[in-house]
Structure 1
Amino acid sequence: MVLAASRRVLARVLVAAAAAAVVSCGNDDPGPAFVVGAGDAVESRVLAEIYAGALARTGLRVAVQPELGQRADYLAALDAGRVALVGEHTGELLAFYDSGSAARTPSAVIQDLNRSLPEGLVVSDPADGTDLRPRVLVTAEAARRDDLDSVAELAPRCGELRAGLAPAPDLLRVPGATPVTGCDFAGATPLPDATALRNALLDNSVQAGVVGGPSALTASATEGLTVLTDGEYALRAQNVIPVFRKGLLDDQRLEKLNYVAGELTTDELVEMIRRVRDGATAGEVARGWLDTHGL
């Protein structure tokens, strides 16, 4: 009897877990759910929950499929129809589908991205308020000495400098070295994280640093360093954007995705990533964000 009771409890737990994976908003349609995929990064899961939650509030039956691996893995799942939508960055998505594109500004990146997408995949509006480009850093001393405020001002010196390259935690990853247009460094040293990059800059083993996302995600490690501005897009634009299978969403639901794009900002996304890093669930922080913005 104890074994049978345990089995019943386990069955109830499994049923509840399966139900929790499907986000619904009063839709009794028994058909298959619209599956939003997420890679392994915290950012990817947060974006998946935002898009899934927004679409669920239109009455669409939605499920989130997490832990699909890296970019090549979840885009393969999208291409094969195992998922219907994933969140991405415009520039990185363009590089994946068209490595030869020279587009750098937000509008040029979107133009080339729309041309390069495989048949059957489309994007909606990018979140213009998000800027997930890597940041170029130098020490405060070097910035004062060489009068550096921007990547453009650094460019003439790049050939004399060794750069340290570090990922930003919990973001969609950029494969390989980050190109900085007009800035050909004398060499590059991959580093495991922003703390190691800070140490390398301070001991002058590297003279410039490239961290793979907003410096707000690495604020404690990069405190006291100077973040160079990049108004000319030496680093390719990286705005959040959903990519999805064509023909699965009607105008009402496409409009909902565009509403999300109009509200999401870099600071809000960074804060949601931090909250998940600190123990909140991605679904919880996404619901809070959607409620705050009336979505």
Structure 2
Amino acid sequence: MLARLMVVTAVTLAVSCGNDDPGPTIAVGAGDSMESNLLAQIYAGALARTGARTSVAADLGRREDYLAALDAGTVTVVGEHSGELLTFLNAGAQARKPEVTTDVADTSTAARLSVTEELNRSLPQGLAVSDPADGTDMRSRVLLTEAAAIRDNVRSVGALAPRCDAIEAGVAPVPDVLSAPGPVRIAGCDFAGTRPYPDAAALRKALLDGEIQAGILTGPSALVPGATDGLTILTDADYAVRAENVLAVYRTGLLDDRQIKKLNYVAGELTTDELAQMIRKVRDGANAAEVARAWLDTHAL
């Protein structure tokens, strides 16, 4: 009898172990930017902690390339910015704010819909998005010299808007982040002209030298330390520049509830400063997977 029980127990254990299959590998896609690869490493690492097998498909190209891979099922998840993805999918989208406004007097689409809501309406069939990372703000920054901000009493983009048609602005890219699908759009602010500059340092010099009267950085200033010294970064509480929060885009039906919750947990912890710090570490030679793993450990994800 004891021998028979031992055989039954052994068979049961074997079946249990055999059923502990993590399933097919979840491929997380990344474009050419450092941020895209880092987000892929974070998502892949987080999903692996649910027991799934994961891999990172890196260097997939530009936004249209990695989204095509997602649409084709080559990858299951990619990292994105909410506003830029909305612009890419729906050029006529009007929503700007991350949350729906409570101003009942404003009945415009921009007021009634959040960026996430309009993005969900614009997604191709078979795709969905995680919660946006509210702690991330990847929007472009509008700059003035400190002297001009004080002289004209301008501290916000809204206060600058009535002056835009008499101002020439410079635009400089912030390196290593997901690229915008087109020129920076600032609601209510149409500059008299714009000039491209190769980097943030050149933009800063042009502002301080008086070549231009305003500047636009296409991402967080934390990624270009020192480039805003002597300058004022205008606030934008009204989202004249459309909200840009990090989120995950994934194919529906391929992730279970635990895995989707894990992506949402990541969104709940990620901040602009932490993401910028991680990108700077990778820029300085750190391994992206190790940087992602350390961040996941720190946040118990």
TM-score (norm 2): 0.87
CA distance in 1 between counterparts of 2:23 and 2:40 reads 21
The residue that corresponds to 2:223 in the other structure is: 217
CA 1:204–1:190: 2 relative to 1, 3 Å:
same
Q: Secondary structure of the equivalent of 2:68?
A: helix
Match of 1:227 among 209, 216, 233: 233
Contact 2:23 2:52 in 1 (8 A): no
Q: 1:204, CA displacement in angstroms?
A: 1.7
The residue that corresponds to 1:146 in the other structure is: 152
Larger Rg: 2
CA distance in 2 between counterparts of 1:213 and 1:92 reads 12
Superposed counterparts of 1:1-80, under 5 Å: 29=21, 32-80=24-72
Q: Secondary structure of the equivalent of 1:219?
A: coil
The residue that corresponds to 2:197 in the other structure is: 191
The size of the alignment, in residue pairs, is 269
Superposed counterparts of 1:128-143, under 5 Å: 128-143=134-149
The residue that corresponds to 2:77 in the other structure is: 85
CA distance in 2 between counterparts of 1:283 and 1:224 reads 36
Q: Secondary structure of the equivalent of 2:225?
A: helix
Which amino acid in 2 is paired with 1:106? P
Q: 1:89, CA displacement in angstroms?
A: 0.3
Match of 2:92 among 87, 100, 107: 100
Q: 1:175, CA displacement in angstroms?
A: 3.0
Contact 1:133 1:235 in 2 (8 A): yes
CA distance in 1 between counterparts of 2:71 and 2:210 reads 45
Q: 1:232, CA displacement in angstroms?
A: 0.4
CA distance in 1 between counterparts of 2:22 and 2:180 reads 39
Q: 1:176, CA displacement in angstroms?
A: 2.8
The residue that corresponds to 2:133 in the other structure is: 127
TM-score (norm 1): 0.89
Q: 1:286, CA displacement in angstroms?
A: 0.3
Q: Secondary structure of the equivalent of 1:226?
A: strand
Stretches of 4+ aligned residues off by more than 6 angstroms? none
Which amino acid in 1 is paired with 2:54? V
Q: 1:39, CA displacement in angstroms?
A: 0.6
CA 1:243–1:285: 2 relative to 1, 3 Å:
same
The residue that corresponds to 2:111 in the other structure is: none
CA RMSD of aligned residues (A): 1.3
Report the identity percentage.
Answer: 65
Q: Note if 1:255 corresponds to 2:247.
A: no
CA 1:91–1:30: 2 relative to 1, 3 Å:
closer
What stretches of structure 2 of length at least 5 have no aligned partner?
A: 1-18, 100-113
